[in-house]
């Protein structure tokens, strides 16, 4: 389906209802700072992240209609939405210095079983539509070697344990990752557990930095996926 047709699935009224997170935000993870201070000394949302995950950026809050778009892409067989959603992610302001050296786009991988069930990996479709507008290489640098339980109903601690060791380098390893700033792409950022584990695997491959780019972020009291 052409991108212009896919984009028409979201009417102007619904597009105007997409919610952008308020400012100020944590410099690292862009979580809204409830204290109203951008220079607050600590952020509880990214304190537990792996040091390998240097930053995160997201386009919208996981609330209506962004949650419906994420669900339709991930579970309802609407891969055509990835073109519009990926372009929104590609417009995000990147951390300073991101493009000063080699930079590549890497999707968070899914398992072979889930790919067969859905017919695609939603994060991979998004990543392709991020890499194109930015003019950056697209790399399938990681594979998911273990499935684990669904993350949806798990606590943050359970999420971290559930994804421990689930990512490994693709075979053969992609040489473009070494020395590059990796833009790791996923559909949703919830606790950062999955992204932290993937970032650690990318740093082991030689990445100089990893930034997560997501279409939506779950905030307290909102929907999770």
Tell me the per-residue pLDDT of 89-127, one tens digit each, with 9 for 90 and over: 999 999 999 999 999 999 999 999 999 999 999 999 999
pLDDT of residue 225: 57
Please say whether the dihedral angle defined by the alpha carbons of residues 209, 87, 214 and 16, taken in this order, is positive or negative: positive
Q: How confident is the model at residue 5 (pLDDT cuts 50, 70, 90)?
A: very low
Write down the residue that tokens 């919610």 correspond to. 19
User: Which of 41-50, 80-89, 113-122 has the lowest average pLDDT?
Assistant: 41-50
Query: Is the pLDDT confidence value at 159 over 70?
Result: no
What CA–CA distance (Å, rounded) separates 127 from 179? 20
Helix (H, G, I), strand (E, B) or coil at 55: strand
Average pLDDT over residues 210-219: 97
Helix (H, G, I), strand (E, B) or coil at 184: strand
Mean pLDDT of the chain: 89
Q: How confident is the model at residue 13 (pLDDT cuts 50, 70, 90)?
A: confident
Tell me the sheet residues that pair with 182.
Answer: 104, 210
Residue 224 token pair: 């999770």
What CA–CA distance (Å, rounded) separates 183 from 198? 11
Query: Is the pLDDT confidence value at 157 over 80?
Result: no
Q: Is there a cis peptide before residue 30, judged by omega within 30 degrees of 0?
A: no
Average pLDDT over residues 151-168: 73
Query: Is the pLDDT confidence value at 39 over 70?
Result: no
Residue boundaries of the structural domains of the chain:
3-217
- Indicate the pTM of the whole model: 0.89
Query: Is the pLDDT confidence value at 34 over 80?
Result: no
DSSP letters for 81-139: HHHHHHHHHHTSPPPTTGGGS-EEEEEPP--HHHHHHHSS-HHHHHHHHHHHHHT--B-
Residues 6+ apart with CB under 8 A from 76: none
Tell me the per-residue pLDDT of 171-208, one tens digit each, with 9 for 90 and over: 999 999 999 999 999 999 999 999 999 999 999 999 99
Under DSSP, the state recorded for 180 is P
Nearest alpha-carbon partner for 150 in 126, 114, 187, 196 = 114
Answer yes or no: are the C-beta atoms of 189 and 212 closer than 8 Å.
Answer: yes
Asked if CATH classification 3.40.50 holds for the domain at 3-217, the reply, yes or no, is yes
Q: How confident is the model at residue 161 (pLDDT cuts 50, 70, 90)?
A: confident
pLDDT of residue 36: 57
Average pLDDT over residues 151-155: 61
DSSP letters for 26-41: -TTT--B-TTS-TT-S
Computed over its alpha carbons, how large is the radius of gyration of the chain?
16
Q: How confident is the model at residue 146 (pLDDT cuts 50, 70, 90)?
A: confident
Average pLDDT over residues 78-82: 95
Write down the residue that tokens 């109903």 correspond to. 153
């Amino acid at each position: 389906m052409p991108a212009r047709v896919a984009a028409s699935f979201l009417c102007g009224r619904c597009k105007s209802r997409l919610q952008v997170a308020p400012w100020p935000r944590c410099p690292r993870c862009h979580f809204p700072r409830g204290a109203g201070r951008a220079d607050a000394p600590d952020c509880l949302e990214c304190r537990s992240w792996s040091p390998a995950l240097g930053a995160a950026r997201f386009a919208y809050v996981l609330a209506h209609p962004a949650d419906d778009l994420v669900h339709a892409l991930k579970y309802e067989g609407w891969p055509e939405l990835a073109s519009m959603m990926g372009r929104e992610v590609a417009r995000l302001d990147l951390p300073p210095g991101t493009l000063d050296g080699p930079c590549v786009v890497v999707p968070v991988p899914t398992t072979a079983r889930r790919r067969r069930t859905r017919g695609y990996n939603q994060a991979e479709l998004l990543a392709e539509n991020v890499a194109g507008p930015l003019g950056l290489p697209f790399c399938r640098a990681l594979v998911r070697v273990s499935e684990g339980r669904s993350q949806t109903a798990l606590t943050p601690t359970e999420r971290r344990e559930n994804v421990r060791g689930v990512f490994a380098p693709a075979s053969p390893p992609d040489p473009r990752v070494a020395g590059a700033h990796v833009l790791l792409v996923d559909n949703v950022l919830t606790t950062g557990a999955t992204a932290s584990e993937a970032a650690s695997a990318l740093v082991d491959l030689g990445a100089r930095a990893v930034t997560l780019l997501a279409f939506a972020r779950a905030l307290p009291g909102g929907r999770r996926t």
